[in-house]
Amino acid sequence: MITKENYKQSLKDYQPKPKYFRNCLKAFMVGGFICLIGQGLTFFYMEMFGFTSKEAGNPTVTTLILIAALLTGFGLYDKIGQFAGAGSAVPVTGFANSITSAALEHKSEGIVLGISTNMFKLAGSVIVFGTVAAYVVGVIRYTIQTLF
Amino acid sequence: MIMDFFWAFVVGGAICVIGQLLLDIFKLTPAHVMSSFVVAGAVLDGFGLYDKLIEFAGAGATVPITSFGHSLLHGAMVQAEEHGFLGIAVGIFQLTSAGIASAILFGFIVALIFKPRG
């Protein structure tokens, strides 16, 4: 007798098990490398333009976003993503990639209805959750600060 | 300087490993992982922990998407000091504006110029 439950169970035997260690190692190397480039850019902006380490954050992120958008345009970022998994999705470059690839994917539908309306199809959730979370935490923290 | 690079690599890589484990073990989609990380960044900053991580790891903490949540809250708190509760909404995008604006701009330009592949 095949029920929904034991069907799922019997399927499990035939599904490939993810290679946990190998995937983590790849994510670590690629993610770490992207942060390494970020650190290099931070030092570059501090040296060349006399920014403090905090001020250098914005130009660093902007540069990484530009690189990621271009790599997505050339179709290279998706190849890195297939190899690195979370290693290329978690850094801010993954955010830029999700915006650019969604925009490119819908290019054929036009500039307004295709590119512009679909741009935030994937990245929208990041902005929504980030804003809601920051708002809630901000209200809580400000309330505690004013009370005590 | 060498140690700065080392810790940026290790901490940034470690955050990505957490993301990879969420993908593999809990079968989350990348969008779920990114959303959770942004929320985690905002919550950690709420306890004042994320600033310590940035001091320690530099770009290892500012490049992962968790720093987006941290910057959202930071901007909000700076304005909240001046304008009270209204300030939270005023300041929330103050620090992240450069990232969002450039992601939209570059994404738009690239989508105009390049052809979709794959």
Q: For chain A, 148 residues long, give each residue's pLDDT as a single digit of tens.
A: 677 777 777 777 777 777 889 999 999 999 999 999 999 999 999 999 988 888 888 899 999 999 999 999 999 999 999 999 999 999 999 999 999 999 999 999 999 999 999 999 989 999 999 999 999 999 999 999 888 8
Residues of chain B found within 8 Å of residue A69, distances taken between Cβ atoms: 103, 106-107, 109-110
Per-residue pLDDT at B32: 93
In a domain, B17, yes or no: yes
**Closest Cα in chain B, distance from residue A3 (Å):** 23
Contact B106 A66 (CB under 8 A): yes
In a domain, B74, yes or no: yes
Residue B18: CB partners within 8 Å, gap ≥ 6?
A86
Q: Which residue of A has its CA nearest to B43?
A: A137
Contact B59 A133 (CB under 8 A): no
Residue A144's identity, in one-letter code, is: I
Name the E strands within chain A. none
Structure tokens at A126: 């990041």
Residues of chain A found within 8 Å of residue B37, distances taken between Cβ atoms: 90
Per-residue pLDDT at B118: 56
Angle at A44 between CA A40 and CA A50, to 5 degrees: 140
Name the residue with higher pLDDT: B117 or B59: B59
B96: domain range? 2-113
Average pLDDT over residues B17-46: 94
Per-residue pLDDT at B74: 92
In a domain, B51, yes or no: yes
ipTM over 0.85: yes
In a domain, B92, yes or no: yes
CA dihedral B79, B82, B85, B89 (to 10 degrees): -30
In a domain, B69, yes or no: yes
Q: How far apart are CA A36 and CA A3, in angstroms?
A: 51
| Count of the separate structural domains present in chain B | 1
First to last CA, chain A: 64
Residues of chain A found within 8 Å of residue B11, distances taken between Cβ atoms: 35
Structure tokens at A50: 């006399």
**Closest Cα in chain A, distance from residue B76 (Å):** 7
In a domain, B62, yes or no: yes
In a domain, B118, yes or no: no
In a domain, B88, yes or no: yes
Q: For the purposes of burial, counting CB atoms within 10 Å of the CB of B61, is it exposed (0-12), middle (13-18) or buried (19 or more)?
A: buried
What residue spans of B25-96 are helical by DSSP H? Answer: 30-46, 49-57, 59-62, 66-83, 85-91
Per-residue pLDDT at A34: 96
User: CB–CB of B106/A102 below 8 Å?
Assistant: no
Q: How far apart are CA A135 and CA B89, in angstroms?
A: 7
Per-residue pLDDT at A45: 94
Residue B117 has pLDDT above 80, yes or no: no
Q: How far apart are CA B26 and CA A26, in angstroms?
A: 18
First to last CA, chain B: 41
